[in-house]
Amino acid sequence: MNIHEYQGKDIFTGFGLPVPGGSAVQTVEDAVASAKEYGLPVMVKSQVLIGGRGKAGGVKFCETVEDVKKNATNILGMDIKGHTVRTVLITPAVDIDTELYIGMLIDRNTKRVMLMASAEGGIDIETVAKDTPELIFKQIIDPRFGLLDHEAMEMGMRLCPDDIKRARQLASAMQKLYVAFIESDASMAEINPWIFTPEGVGHAIDAKVSLDDNAMYRHPDYEALRDLEAEDPSERAAREAGLSFVKLSGNVGCLVNGAGLAMATMDLVKYYGGQPANFLDIGGSSNPEKVVSALNIILADKEVKAILFNIFGGITRCDDVANGIIAATNSMDINVPIVVRLTGTNEAEGRALLAKTDLGTADTMDEVVKKAIELAG
């Protein structure tokens, strides 16, 4: 789950990282009130879950109350790459001498958390990584000991070789960021930029944090950080129904058991010239209620002209799945053609059940995909 800058900063503050104060507000009046509270100049920063806010005009420096009014008016409601701005962060503007990058992520290869830092802050770090990888320093962190003093200090001195005071602040910030990462179950945490003022005082002036969905059970308070309005309504409904779903823009609805098979099915729809409407992993369950939820989510998309089921009964039995599909489709009013492919355990029994219904059937994955594309027109 990706969270907003202001929410990431709240987490950072909780772990002792230096973050300039700020308020997240939804109205121009509140923006002005906050600006007065913090004292001008301030920054008005759009809170959307996408990068490139500055370039899109969603981050503005304001010297006067008039500036705040004007910019907050412009930014609230602005569309940034398909994301509507509903909240802005009002935060004191700080003088910037240098901008640096500090980030942490899960490194799949070493199976550890990796610290990445660069003196090239404030710009897109992926561009730096691609064009000038030598400017990014890395440190793999041993989970038994955390980010050790000398590791943090070495990294601090690499970024600020001529200023031990700045290097120390960086070292401390990186150690705090590691604790924040582990304790909040992050999958990614970035400070871009970390800045030093001309007086040499460091601040985290941005925060980009992703939290591990699998760890939400031990952070019940983080559920409130979810931006429900930024979520696609169908993806939200799927999440609440416990289904793994991603909306796409095609017209062939796909219900598949298993994530890998679901991806392969989408790919096959595209291969045969069709467009998948979604990714949906219905899981190992043959529960009719789950099938109903899945169908409701897919049918809410008016673009969907045909629906396919691609079920490989491994542990799940095909006759159970067939009963689930039949019960679900009987209980609903569906005006879109459905084709079902069932293979695996008890496949004959499953097919016999489907033969008694109006549901279309197919023997193979290829066949179900081709039929669905044809029906979608």
Partner 1 sequence: MAIFVDDSTKVVVQGITGRDGGFHSSEMLAYGTKVLAGVTPGRGGQKFQDTVPVYDTVKEAVTNHGVNTSVIFVPPFGAAGAIYEAADAGCKLIVCITEGVPTVDMVKVMPYLEERGARLIGPNCPGLLAPGIAKLGILPTSIVKEGPVGLVSRSGTLTYEVVYQLSAAGLGQTTCLGIGGDPVIGTTFMDAIIAFNEDPKTEAFVMIGEIGGDAEEQAAEYIKANVKKPVVSFIAGQTAPAGKKMGHAGAIVSGGSGTAAEKKKALEAAGIPVAERPMDIVPALQEIWKK
How is residue 241 written in tokens? 């129904």
Distance CA 78, CA 86 (A): 8
Strand extents, DSSP E, the chain: 2-3, 23-25, 42-46, 59-62, 79-80, 83-84, 88-92, 98-107, 112-118, 136-141, 186-196, 202-204, 208-211, 244-247, 252-256, 278-281, 306-313, 338-344, 360-362
State the minimum distance, in angstroms, from the CB of residue 179 to partner 1: 12
How is residue 82 written in tokens? 């398909």
Residue number, 27 or 364, with CB nearest to partner 1: 364
State the minimum distance, in angstroms, from the CB of residue 250 to partner 1: 9
State the minimum distance, in angstroms, from the CB of residue 6 to partner 1: 21
State the minimum distance, in angstroms, from the CB of residue 75 to partner 1: 23
How is residue 30 written in tokens? 């509140």
Q: Please, which residues bridge with residue 112 across strands?
A: 107
Q: Please, which residues bridge with residue 194 across strands?
A: 100, 204
Residue number, 42 or 340, with CB nearest to partner 1: 340
How is residue 63 written in tokens? 């010297």
Other beta carbons within 10 angstroms of residue 259's beta carbon come to 13
Give the neighbor-by-neighbor strand order of the sheet with 244-247.
244-247, 278-281, 252-256, 306-313, 338-344, 360-362
Residue number, 101 or 279, with CB nearest to partner 1: 279
Residue number, 248 or 327, with CB nearest to partner 1: 248
C-beta contacts of 368-371 below 8 A and 24+ residues apart: 368/308, 368/309, 368/310, 368/339, 368/340, 368/341, 369/252, 369/265, 369/268, 369/269, 369/271, 369/272, 369/274, 369/308, 369/310, 370/272, 371/308, 371/339
Residue number, 310 or 323, with CB nearest to partner 1: 310
Query: Peptide bond before 41: cis, by omega within 30 degrees of 0?
Result: yes
Residue number, 148 or 332, with CB nearest to partner 1: 148
State the minimum distance, in angstroms, from the CB of residue 210 to partner 1: 9
State the minimum distance, in angstroms, from the CB of residue 313 to partner 1: 8
Residue number, 253 or 258, with CB nearest to partner 1: 258
* Residues known to be catalytic: 101, 190
If you search the block for the tokens 């009013």, which residue do you land on? 333
Return residues touching partner 1 (CB under 8 A): 106, 108-109, 111-113, 126, 129, 142-144, 182, 185, 187, 212-215, 217-218, 244, 246, 248, 256-264, 266-271, 276, 279, 281, 312-315, 343-345, 364-366
Query: Peptide bond before 193: cis, by omega within 30 degrees of 0?
Result: yes
Q: Which of 10, 28, 27 is nearest to 19 (CA)?
A: 10
Q: Please, which residues bridge with residue 204 across strands?
A: 194
State the minimum distance, in angstroms, from the CB of residue 167 to partner 1: 27
